[in-house]
Amino acid sequence: MEGYILALDQGTTSCRAILFDHDGRIRSLAQKEFPQYFPQPGWVEHDPMEIWSAQLSVAMEAMATVGVGAAEVAAIGITNQRETTILWDRRTGRPICHAIVWQCRRTAEMVDALTPAQRSLIQERTGLVPDAYFSASKIAWILDHVEGARERAKAGELAFGTVDSWLIWNLTKGAVHVTDYTNASRTMLFNIHTRRWDRELLDIWDIPEELLPEVCPSSMVYGYTDPAVLGGRIPIAGAAGDQQAALFGQCCFEPGEVKNTYGTGGFLLMNTGHRAISSSHGLLTTIAATREGEELNYALEGSVFVAGSVIQWLRDEMRMVKSAPQSEEYADEVFDTAGVYIVPAFTGLGAPYWNPYARGTVVGLTRGCKKEHFIRAALESIAYQSMDVVQVMEEDAGVKLKGLKVDGGASANNFLMKFQADLMDVPVYRPKCIETTALGASYLAGLAVGYWKNTDEIKENWQLGRTFRPDIASADREKLLRGWHRAVRCAMAWADDREG
């Protein structure tokens, strides 16, 4: 098959663009980090214009690196950080304020104020645990705090979008305002059973429907790039939130198949087929990437707020490592953590705890703790949080995990993957291409334009890179987990005593 698929991978800390060929191989990759803004403790913001500028520049760079013009790009697929909320002026295309990022906790008290009946309605219709993580309270906050925003929204002058909508709007120069089912299902405003924006949910937050984008399947042609943007009319044919895109990119097409992505956060998803399974343990029921004309697919998800970003914290704030790969070297220099546990609840705890007030906690410190122990404890915290999710997911789905497919930047850390296998007591499978989020977006776009015929053809591209097998004694595993859960209780106690 001639030509390429261009995947735009808009993440929490960087924008990437990757050109894939028909075999799913990376032909070029460009990446650019963009600023993070923390105006108050627990608040996280992005500048939408900086996101667009970074994403456009890496797209142009990826194409220019291998001399590819618009005519050689069969389609564009988009995958994005989910829940992050942007409101902009429909006439000028300019944001009315900074984007409120999924990690931001400023609206926790708004969510706390929900009545039991409202919380029950939200969970029943959206599959989500009511939390500041999702977009609804962020939209309401902007409408309440930006002068004139609510009146302008009701007049149809403003547009809301998650980052996929924002990118498509800019790629088409305002011709298309859409989102896909996966991103819509993360707003806390979308009924995942009827596949519509829900009037009662909008009323809870006093959000005008005039703000909202059209909701479409994850694989279809939404529109075309304006020729002035990338030099031609390229079909924009796929969009999915990053975790649903990774599930698709890992070829988890059958019910019961599981993947874990180690990105800024950690996200473990299980394909549950056409059945929306309700969790009794704080997991989320969400929509999986679905092609145009297909019956809707669902997934169970456990969301960990801090995974790879704990390594970034070690590098940027603690200055314990100069690069992320260096964390593996330090961790391998010691046999354990000397009893130290780190709970990286920088923005609260996600699944299965859902405590927005918990904060980062270090326990077990002794005089013998060295930098190497501290770094190892930070890496181990990523695996512990994923283990918490796996245990409750197995109960909700009634399925025992037989193996785990992994991807995302931190999955390149061999120490972390081996420790994950030891904790879960199952093999961990890392593919040769760990860029499965972008790959999933490219598959969704390519299927929509006939670049790939079907999912069977896509499955042939998946190649195993390395298997990590467990070899730890059961008693040692249980001891480690008991220590971890003690540490989590300490982080929760900090949250419980916040009024004291």
pLDDT band of residue 500 (cuts 50, 70, 90) is very low
pLDDT 10s digits, 291-308 = 988 888 999 999 888 998
Cα distance between residue 377 and residue 38, in whole Å: 25
Average pLDDT, the chain: 93
Average pLDDT over residues 122-151: 94
pLDDT 10s digits, 33-58 = 999 999 998 899 999 999 999 999 99
pLDDT 10s digits, 316-366 = 999 999 998 999 999 999 999 999 999 999 888 888 888 888 889 999 999
Tell whether the model's pLDDT for residue 281 goes beyond 80: yes
Cis peptide before 352 (omega within 30 of 0): yes
Percent of the chain at pLDDT > 90 equals 77
Tell whether the model's pLDDT for residue 370 goes beyond 60: yes
Cα distance between residue 342 and residue 481, in whole Å: 13
Cα distance between residue 429 and residue 474, in whole Å: 21
Handedness of CA 141, 144, 147, 151 (dihedral sign): positive
* Cβ atoms of residues 410 and 416 within 8 Å: yes
Which residues, 6+ apart, have CB-to-CB distance to 323 below 8 Å? 315
Instruction: Show the 3-state SS of 446-486.
Output: HHHCCCCCCHHHHHCCCCEEEEECCCCCHHHHHHHHHHHHH
To which residue do tokens 């059945």 refer? 275
* Cβ atoms of residues 80 and 241 within 8 Å: yes
Cα distance between residue 341 and residue 56, in whole Å: 41
pLDDT band of residue 499 (cuts 50, 70, 90) is low
Cβ atoms within 10 Å, residue 254: 8
**Reported pTM:** 0.85
Cα distance between residue 378 and residue 382, in whole Å: 7
* Cβ atoms of residues 261 and 246 within 8 Å: yes
Average pLDDT over residues 77-101: 96
Tell whether the model's pLDDT for residue 1 goes beyond 70: no
pLDDT at 409: 85
Residue 278 token pair = 């309700």
Element (H, E) at 179: strand 178-180
Which residue would you say has higher pLDDT here, 434 or 127? 127
Which residues, 6+ apart, have CB-to-CB distance to 493 below 8 Å? none
Query: In 44-101, which residue ranges form alpha helices assigned H by DSSP?
Result: 48-65
List the Cα angle 25/178/456 in 5-degree steps: 35
pLDDT 10s digits, 196-238 = 999 999 999 999 999 999 999 999 999 999 999 999 999 999 9
CA neighbor of 310 nearest in space, from 81, 8, 13, 10: 13
Tell whether the model's pLDDT for residue 460 goes beyond 80: yes
Which residue would you say has higher pLDDT here, 120 or 400? 120
Cβ atoms within 10 Å, residue 196: 12
CA neighbor of 266 nearest in space, from 298, 311, 325: 311
Give, to the nearest 10 degrees, the angle between helix 371-397 and helix 474-496: 90
Tell whether the model's pLDDT for residue 162 goes beyond 60: yes
Cα distance between residue 435 and residue 258, in whole Å: 16
In the three-class reduction of DSSP (H, G, I as helix; E, B as strand; rest coil), residue 13 is classed as: coil
